[in-house]
């Protein structure tokens, strides 16, 4: 049996007619930039999130960059973030002109460890960007307390956590701003690059919208210099269709994770994902941990089971950050886990048979030894 890591095709086929119609309408209208589809998607997403403003942008990386810039963060500032994420989280801090300051992860949740944040705060610190990694909420209430105490902006990177919650509040609704990616493989994915910013702050929303559109809210009225980071109309049309299914797809991910938990719990050599109390983990990724990660990955590959590693190097260990002069021992948990984590197939459409096959593959690996 071949099990892909994600199966975008089966999801497309399940809503093919609606998607094709939505794309065809954009083609037929030849309205490729701006247009009703964008406003429709922004207001649909806003009502799903109970938020005042949704600003569609070109991708999730720009979403972070634009938020940082429009909060006035730049040269001479420092922004604290997690040691374990995709590079967008930290490269955008640099793009904005500021310095990324990494904090090691919590050993149970793989998200930024709030106990290690305060020692990294200096006079230059302006913001904290926690990432709700793999769909798991970072300890957002503890982080918010720190932000309140030191008057720092809280920017939530929600690229992996659409509809994750803590205490009934959605990821992205705890901070001043939440940033989302709709990269195809994300929980809510477009068929190309797309992203958005959410906020209740009227002025911030307007600034972000302006900056993302060459500094103009109206054509030729450039109040500032900006960038071109508009949400593509075809992508908005696709997201408009997919947004109607996202709640169901999210629930499927959660029940698939429960199946993996129940089936794999007997495997002593594995550490399964732990979910923090009072939170909803939406399982963008189902990440297991074992000292024999590479051999297990190989074994599953031979069986036709595709897996992935998120991420093979913690951010401070990337060549891009050599200039910061960190040692692996500065981030002991993230540096250890980068060699132990393995993401196994997880998507709403994966069947019980397929998950059974994955679990049997994992079990056969540990039995053989």
Which helix (H) or strand (E) segment holds residue 127: the answer is: strand 125-129
Count residues near ligand PLP (CB under 6 A): 15
- 172 binds ligand PLP, rule: CB under 6 A: no
- 89 binds ligand PLP, rule: CB under 6 A: yes
- C-alpha span between 254 and 93 (Å, rounded): 32
Contact with ligand PLP (CB under 6 A) among 114, 189, 195, 348: 195
The 10 Å Cβ neighbour count of residue 10 is 14
- C-alpha span between 98 and 81 (Å, rounded): 12
- 131 binds ligand PLP, rule: CB under 6 A: yes
The smaller minimum CB distance to ligand PLP, of residues 61 and 125, is found at 61
The nearest distance, CB 88 to ligand PLP, in angstroms, is 3
The smaller minimum CB distance to ligand PLP, of residues 11 and 161, is found at 161
- 187 binds ligand PLP, rule: CB under 6 A: no
Side by side, which strands form the sheet with 153-157?
Answer: 53-57, 195-199, 177-181, 153-157, 125-129, 78-82, 99-103
213: β partners: 228
- 81 binds ligand PLP, rule: CB under 6 A: no
Interface with ligand PLP by CB under 6 A: which range of 1-9, 80-88, 134-142, 297-305?
A: 80-88
- C-alpha span between 259 and 157 (Å, rounded): 28
Q: Which string of b and e fits 87-126 if b means at least 16 CB within 10 Å?
A: bbbbbbbeebebbbbbbbbbeebbbbbbebbeeebeeebb
Tokens for 8? Answer: 């975008």
- C-alpha span between 252 and 348 (Å, rounded): 5
Interface with ligand PLP by CB under 6 A: which range of 9-17, 82-90, 109-117, 237-245?
A: 82-90
Interface with ligand PLP by CB under 6 A: which range of 57-65, 201-209, 235-243, 329-337?
A: 57-65
- 343 binds ligand PLP, rule: CB under 6 A: no
344: β partners: 286
Interface with ligand PLP by CB under 6 A: which range of 59-67, 75-83, 231-239, 325-333?
A: 59-67
Which residues contact ligand PLP (rule: CB under 6 A)?
A: 59-61, 85-86, 88-89, 131, 157, 159-160, 181, 183, 193, 195
């Amino acid at each position: 049996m071949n099990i892909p890591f994600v199966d975008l095709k089966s999801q497309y086929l399940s809503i093919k007619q609606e998607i094709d119609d939505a794309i065809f309408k954009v083609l037929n209208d030849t309205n490729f930039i701006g247009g009703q589809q964008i406003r429709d998607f922004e207001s649909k997403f806003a009502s799903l999130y109970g938020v005042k403003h949704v600003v569609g942008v070109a991708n999730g990386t720009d979403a972070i960059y634009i938020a940082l810039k429009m909060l006035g963060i730049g040269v001479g500032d420092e922004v604290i973030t997690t040691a374990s994420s995709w590079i967008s989280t930290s490269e955008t801090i640099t793009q904005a002109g500021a310095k990324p300051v990494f904090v090691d992860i919590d050993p149970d949740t793989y998200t930024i460890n709030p106990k290690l944040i305060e020692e990294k705060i200096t006079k230059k610190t302006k913001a904290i960007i926690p990432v709700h990694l793999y769909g798991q909420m970072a300890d957002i209430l503890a982080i918010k307390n720190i932000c309140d105490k030191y008057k720092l902006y809280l920017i939530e990177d929600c690229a992996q956590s659409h509809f994750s919650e803590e205490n009934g509040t959605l990821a992205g609704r705890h901070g001043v701003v939440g940033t989302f990616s709709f990269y195809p493989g994300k929980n809510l994915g477009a068929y190309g690059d797309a992203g958005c910013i959410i906020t209740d702050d009227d002025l911030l929303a307007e600034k972000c919208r302006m900056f993302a559109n060459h500094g103009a809210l109206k054509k030729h009225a450039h109040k500032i210099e900006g960038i071109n980071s508009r949400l593509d109309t075809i992508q908005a049309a696709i997201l408009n269709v997919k947004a109607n299914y996202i709640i169901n797809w999210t629930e499927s991910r959660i029940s698939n994770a429960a199946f993996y938990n129940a089936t794999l719990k007997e495997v002593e050599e594995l550490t399964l994902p732990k979910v923090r109390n009072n939170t909803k983990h939406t399982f963008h990724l189902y990440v297991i941990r074992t000292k024999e990660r590479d051999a297990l990955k190989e074994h599953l590959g031979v069986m036709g089971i595709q897996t992935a590693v998120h991420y093979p190097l913690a951010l401070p260990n990337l060549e891009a950050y050599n200039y910061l002069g960190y040692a692996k021992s500065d981030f002991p948990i993230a540096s250890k886990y980068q060699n132990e984590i393995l993401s196994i197939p997880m998507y709403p459409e994966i069947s019980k048979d397929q998950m059974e096959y994955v679990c049997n593959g994992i079990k056969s690996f540990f039995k053989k030894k």
